[in-house]
Structure 1
């Protein structure tokens, strides 16, 4: 494709439109904001990031970003009450007159979050800070995208002092099965809280990923598993909202319960294979009786295991001892967390029990 073709494509009327993805408050399960995302109608038929990349290569990147920015700001009138609108802009484009003019024309920027995208390295932080200053003066907040990857380094965060830090999708993907990723996200949460900023987990696609993010107490989240981008500013998926609210009620028990993982359950062991087929990422299915009390755990190979049921009143040290005294071939089986009536709440892996035990020892507190 020649440069002239690229330039004409970027300037073509109707080629650009905006969609909006919900961002939820994980503690309440309510939508508190939206990220505006550019969408393009080809030709060329390619992804939005590729459109912006070829526009930059052709020398019209700032012009295209300014168009997308104006389209996003024009959508403010549709923003629901008490919600913010996050708008993506590249660090280079933010330094251009075209983008500065769009922001100046917008006037009051309260309710707008300017999200610095991870496209190019920042060559001059002083210039970038100077460009951000009038936006903050007009009421805008600042977000740094893709923390933990590429150019979004800790220096990027500490120099810009954003109000929001968005976790890179690569750290979220499969976080329910990777304790190293969970540890990094947890560390980012501590880091951002010291900066008086909000951590946002983006790119959440599965219930298990959302459940692990909730257990880490990440305050804000978005992704296709929560709500896909739409032309209208709509609601989050009902199952994601329900999981957030359920997790909040579980965490009220304290102790290990804030680590509880979602556990699919069936009333008959013969139904376990169907549950596994519906949920390819599921490692365990719980068999419950007519009162929702766990009676068996089933693994993906069909093995049935007696549950180690944990009630809210049990001390952490006692749970660890019970795990240690199980038969050797059963020690890898998750503990089953139950409410005060012994009804299923969720599962907690042995690794997470040990991690919590280590945390209490490091802090010098009693392992309750």
Structure 2
């Protein structure tokens, strides 16, 4: 069977901005699902881990033409992280070698509960090693396969609330209590949550009521055959009053004013290129991402070293002989200094930053920085204004 029939991509959406924040690779064929293989074979933990890592590796390569504007989420079992960490660690290198001329998408490992054996202490150690290698980490089925203590010990980048809980959320008080407990622990330790399998307006309303900022499911966006976010967005009718209903960010930050939502809830992945990219590569990146308003040039440590606003850049290269003049020249010759902010500030601070300095750049995307000064994504000024309006209406 061809790879095109084995995998599909499901968008993960930010419920405030309505924009995609990730693409999860789904295994469409039963024979590729490790849970099925475990039930129908006599394989031991080592064989299952090798099988699971092999299918996950194939899923990563299937997303090799990914547009890199949002992270690629790949499912692996906890057993696989413990028993085949070396093979999992190769995913990034394999992806980078597959398309050396294109930036590789950020990879997020979605860790599913163990089928056989994954001692928590060993799992924590292996996940710490993978994070050091540059992987993001999400936990699936928290409350069912992972305890809340494990969430507080690991502090993953994302906790996903499974579809079975989401389906019961509007009418089942027990499910609501479980989701409340998960959300509270995540809020305290600074972990974002996402809902899986949202399929009805009632489920979406319940998800928003619990302050869950990200979600995926058939109501929000269908699965796709290609790893592209082109045309993906929350339907307009599902955006109504979203910002007002969504409670403040579950991510406590030192630079945030308590009770106010932070820019971290509005962040989206930057369209980025290496610092030595040519102007033609920047033009192609903008053509590949029609929804993007900018390109950020990054050094080897992913620190932003240049900013290209779509309108000003396209104007510069579209004049007489502009494209011929600039095509093979470094795009850095047309860049401006990125307008940067720490990823942990609140929305009013970010808005004040937008209004300071050069008036011609008041509507430039803001580039957010993590603790190491690396690019953590961008925030659009229109989203800041929408977030500020939702904050005041909620107050």
Would the TM-score normalized by the shorter structure come out above 0.5?
A: yes
1:26-65, aligned counterparts within 5 Å?
A: 26-40=15-29, 48=33, 50-54=35-39, 57-59=42-44, 60-65=47-52
C-alpha separation between the residues in 1 aligned to 2:92 and 2:183? 32
Q: Which runs of 5+ in 2 are unaligned?
A: 97-103, 249-394
Assess if the C-alpha contact under 8 Å between 2:21 and 2:70 holds in 1: yes
Assess if the C-alpha contact under 8 Å between 1:55 and 1:64 holds in 2: no
| Structure 1 pair 13–240 and aligned structure 2 pair: CA distance change class (3 A) | closer
Partner secondary structure for residue 36 of structure 1? strand
Assess if the C-alpha contact under 8 Å between 1:16 and 1:38 holds in 2: no
C-alpha separation between the residues in 1 aligned to 2:226 and 2:4? 18
| Structure 1 pair 129–119 and aligned structure 2 pair: CA distance change class (3 A) | closer
1:1-368, aligned counterparts within 5 Å?
A: 17-40=6-29, 48=33, 50-54=35-39, 57-59=42-44, 60-97=47-84, 99-104=85-90, 106-107=92-93, 111-120=106-115, 123-149=118-144, 151-234=145-228, 240-248=234-242, 250-251=244-245
Rg comparison, structure with higher value? 1
Assess if the C-alpha contact under 8 Å between 1:24 and 1:30 holds in 2: yes
> TM-score, normalized by length of structure 1?
0.56
Look up the match of 1:345.
none
The structure with higher relative contact order (CA 8 Å, sep 6+) is 2
Assess if the C-alpha contact under 8 Å between 1:148 and 1:171 holds in 2: no
Per-residue CA deviations over 1:67-126 (Å, capped at 9, x if unaligned) read 2121222144333343111111111122234x5234236337871111110243654223
Provide the aligned C-alpha RMSD in A.
3.3
C-alpha separation between the residues in 1 aligned to 2:2 and 2:230? 31
Look up the match of 2:273.
none
C-alpha separation between the residues in 1 aligned to 2:179 and 2:36? 30
Query: How far 1:46 sits from its partner (Å)?
Result: 6.5
Query: How far 1:246 sits from its partner (Å)?
Result: 0.8
C-alpha separation between the residues in 2 aligned to 1:14 and 1:82? 22
| Structure 1 pair 124–137 and aligned structure 2 pair: CA distance change class (3 A) | same
Q: Which runs of 5+ in 1 are unaligned?
A: 1-11, 255-367
Query: How far 1:227 sits from its partner (Å)?
Result: 2.6
C-alpha separation between the residues in 2 aligned to 1:56 and 1:153? 28
Assess if the C-alpha contact under 8 Å between 2:34 and 2:51 holds in 1: no
Query: How far 1:169 sits from its partner (Å)?
Result: 2.1
Per-residue CA deviations over 1:19-76 (Å, capped at 9, x if unaligned) read 1111001111111101111222xxxx67835434247633432232122121222144
Q: 4+ residue runs of structure 1 moved beyond 6 angstroms?
A: 12-16, 236-239
